[in-house]
Amino acid sequence: MSPALQSDVLVIGGGLFGTFTGLFLARAGLRVTLLEKGQIGAQASATNFGNLRLHGRSARQYPLSIRAQELWENYGSLTGEDCEIDRTGHLYFAGGERGETQLRKDVETATRFGVESQLLEGALLRERFGFLSDRIRLAAFSPRSAVANPRLSTPPVARAMVRAGGTVIEGCEMAGFDVTSGGFAVTSTDGRRFEAPKLVNAAGAWSGALAEKAGEPVPMFSAGPPQFVTEPLPHRLHPSVHMVEGDVIVRQIPRGNIIFSGYPRTHSLPSGAFTHVPPAKTLRGMRELAQCIPMLARAEVIRVWSGVEGYLPDMLPVIGPSTTMPGLFHAFGGSGGGFQIAPAVGQCLAALVRGEASPVDISSYGIDRFTERSEVSEKIHLEFDQ
CA distances from 166 to 19, 203, 380 (A): 10, 18, 38
In a domain, 169, yes or no: yes
Ramachandran quadrant class, 54 (left: phi over 0; alpha: psi -120 to 50; beta: rest): alpha
Crossing angle for the helix pair 16-27 and 338-353, nearest 10 degrees?
40
Q: Note whether 302 and 263 are same-domain residues.
A: yes
CATH number at residue 132: 3.30.9.10
Check: CB of residue 254 under 8 Å from CB of residue 147. no
Check: CB of residue 88 under 8 Å from CB of residue 147. yes
Biggest distance spanned by C-alpha atoms of the chain? 73
Query: In this predicted structure, what is the pLDDT of residue 384?
Result: 32
Q: Note whether 352 and 302 are same-domain residues.
A: no
377 phi and psi, to 5 degrees? -65, -35
- Give, for all 386 residues of the chain, the pLDDT tens digit: 689 999 999 999 999 999 999 999 999 999 999 999 999 999 999 999 999 999 999 999 999 999 999 999 999 999 999 999 999 999 999 999 999 999 999 999 999 999 999 999 999 999 999 999 999 999 999 999 999 999 999 999 999 999 999 999 999 999 999 999 999 999 999 999 999 999 999 999 999 999 999 999 999 999 888 899 999 999 999 999 999 998 899 999 999 999 999 876 777 766 666 788 889 999 999 999 999 999 999 999 999 999 899 999 999 999 999 999 999 999 999 999 999 999 999 999 999 999 999 999 999 999 999 965 443 333 333 233 32
DSSP 377: H
Domain range for 254:
90-143+226-306
29 burial type by CB count under 10 A (0-12 exposed, 13-18 middle, 19+ buried): exposed
Q: Note whether 134 and 168 are same-domain residues.
A: no
Query: In this predicted structure, what is the pLDDT of residue 109?
Result: 97
Check: CB of residue 215 under 8 Å from CB of residue 324. yes
Query: In this predicted structure, what is the pLDDT of residue 374?
Result: 41
First to last CA, the chain: 51
Instruction: Report how many domains make up the chain.
Output: 2
Q: Note whether 39 and 98 are same-domain residues.
A: no
Check: CB of residue 83 under 8 Å from CB of residue 75. yes
Closest CA to 140 of 260, 239, 66, 262: 239
Crossing angle for the helix pair 338-353 and 62-72, nearest 10 degrees?
90
- Among the candidates 256, 277, 306, a domain finishes at 306
Task: Quote the CA–CA distance of 86 and 239 in Å, as a whole number.
Answer: 10
In a domain, 190, yes or no: yes
CA distances from 111 to 94, 117, 153 (A): 18, 7, 28
Helix (H) or strand (E) holding 169: strand 167-169
